Structure 1
Amino acid sequence: MTEIAPVLHLSGVTKSYSVATDAVPVLRGVDLHLNPGETLALTGESGSGKSTLLHIAGGLETADAGQVRVAGQDLVPMTDTQRAAIRCKDVAVVFQQFNLIPSLNVADNIAFQARLAGRLDAQVVGHLVAKLGLSEQLTKYPEALSGGQQQRVAIARALAARPRVLLADEPTGNLDEGTSSEVLEQLLALVADTGAGLLLVTHSPGIAARMDRRLHLSRGQVA
C-alpha cells in the first residue's frame, strides 16, 4: 500500500519571543502531521501558543528551529518571498476576524486569492458560491453582510484558490451558536469535497469533537 504523504508536517518546531531581556519559549519541539482530506483540531488554553503554531504552519511567522513542511517543502530556510509564494498557492487561512476587503464586492473578495495564485476557475467559484448560499450576495459589499455571511465569503475565498492546506483560527468564534454550527457544517463539507487538509484552532470541545483527530497544546508541546 502506498503511504500517503502529509500535506503539512511539523517536526521539532520551537519558537520564543523576546520580553525585555528574556527569551520566553512558546513552542518547545512541536511535532504534528496533517494528511490530505484530514481534519485536525488544535486545542489549548488561551496563551498556549495555538495561534503562533498556526501562523508558523502557514508561513506567516518563522520557527526558531525545526522543520515546517507544506506539500513537501520546508518553509524554515526559505526567504520571505519564497514563503509568500507557498502561502499564495498551497496554504489558505480563515481567521476569526473575517478580513474581507471592504472596497471589493463579494464576487471580487472570493476571487481575490485565486487570482493572485493564478488559479481562478469559474466552475470552482460557482460550486463554492452555491454550497455556501452566496448567490444572492455577489454584488454586495462586506458592510452589507451579516457575520455569518462574511465568514462564508472568507471560506469561499480561501478554498477558491484550491489550497493543499487550510488553516482556520477560531473560524466561528464571532458567530452565534446556530450560525456557527451551520458554517462549520458547510466548511467540513467543502473540505471533504476539495481534499484539502484542515488544521483548526478552537476552544470549543464540541467543534474539536467534529474533527478526525484532536491535539492539545500545553506548555509548548502537543499531546
Structure 2
Amino acid sequence: MSAQSDARPPALVEVHDLHKSFPGVDGPVPVLRGVSLALSAGETLALTGESGSGKSTLMHLIGGLDTADAGRITIGGADLTAMNDADRARLRRETVGFVFQQFNLIPSLDVAANIAFQARLAGRYDPDGARDLAKTLGLSDHLSKYPEQLSGGQQQRVAIARALASRPRVILADEPTGNLDAGTAEDVMNQMLALVEQTGAALLMVTHSENLATRMGRQLRLVAGRLA
C-alpha cells in the first residue's frame, strides 16, 4: 500500500492546545487544560470521561457556543477562536448541527417545522430531503404533532432530523441518548450513524455509555480537563 493511501484525510475540525476556566469562589477553576484533537469528514469520534471532566465544555467551544481562554479551533480551515459573535453564529448556522440531551425542540412548532428550522436558517431547506429524513427516522406519521405529544425517543429522533436536515459538515451530539431507555437509545444510535454515513458528516459525540462509545470510529477520554 502506498504512503498516499495510508495518509489520514485532512482534518475538518482541529483543536490545538485549548484552555478554558470558569470563575470560582477562590479564583478561576480550570476545566480544559491543553486539549488537542482532530476530526476528519466522515469520521466518528466518541468523547468519554467522568462528570466535570470538561466534555460538554469542549463540545460547546467547538460549536462556537462559548469562547476559549487560549488555544485554537478551526473548522474547515476557518479559525473559530478569531471570530466575533456574529461570525461564530453564522458558522453554527451553516456548518454545525447540534443534538442535545434535552432535545431543545421548539414547543410552539410542530414536528415538520422543528425539523426544518435549522435548515431554513442555513438557507438549505429541502422539503424532499426533510421528508426522507422523517421517513428514515420513523417520524412520517408525527409531522403535524407538537413536541409535548411525543415520547422521549420520538423527540430525540426529531432533534437528530433537525441537526441533519441542514446537511451540516460537523455534527456535535452531547449525550444524545442520555434520556432514553437502552432499547430506544440503541435504535436512535443505529439511525444516527447510518445517516451520518450517508451524508459524510463528521460526528463528535459526548457519551457516558461505553457501549455506545465502542460504536464510534475512535474514542478519546477526558480526565480532569486533559485527554488521557
- Smaller-chain TM-score range? over 0.9
Instruction: Kindly report the root-mean-square deviation, in angstroms, between the aligned alpha carbons of the 2 structures.
Output: 1.0
Alpha-carbon distance, 1:123 to partner: 2.5
TM-score of the two chains, using structure 1 as the length reference: 0.98
CA distance, structure 1, for counterparts of residue 195 and residue 132 of structure 2: 10
Residue 115, structure 1, aligned to residue 120, structure 2: yes
2:197 to 180, 192, 216: 192
Match 2:34 to one of 29, 36, 48: 29
Match of 1:125 in 2: 130
Moved over 6 A (4+): none
| Letter aligned with residue 50 of structure 2 | E
SS of the counterpart of 1:99? coil
Displacement of 1:21 in angstroms is: 4.2
Worse-superposed segment, 125-134 or 197-206: 125-134
2:55 to 30, 50, 54: 50
| Kept after mapping to 1: 8 A contact 2:52/2:224 | no
Matches within 5 A, 1:145-164: 145-164=150-169
Give the fraction of aligned pairs with identical amino acids, expressed as a percent. Answer: 61
TM-score scaled by length of structure 2: 0.95
Task: Give the 3-state SS of the residue equivalent to 1:136 in structure 2.
Answer: helix
Alignment of 1:8 with 2:19, yes or no, is: no
Give the equivalent residue in structure 1 for 2:185: 180
Q: Where do 5+ consecutive residues of structure 2 fail to align?
A: none
Shift of 1:72: 1.2
Aligned match for 1:165, one of 143, 162, 170: 170
In structure 1, what residue type is equivalent to 2:150?
L
- List alignment gaps of at least 5 residues for structure 1: none
Other structure's SS at 2:105 match: coil
How far did residue 168 of structure 1 move?
Answer: 0.4
Q: Deviations over 1:38-73 (max 9, x none)?
A: 110000011111000000010001111111111111
Q: Secondary structure at the match of 2:37?
A: strand
Deviates more, 1:120-129 or 1:104-113: 120-129
Equivalences, count:
223
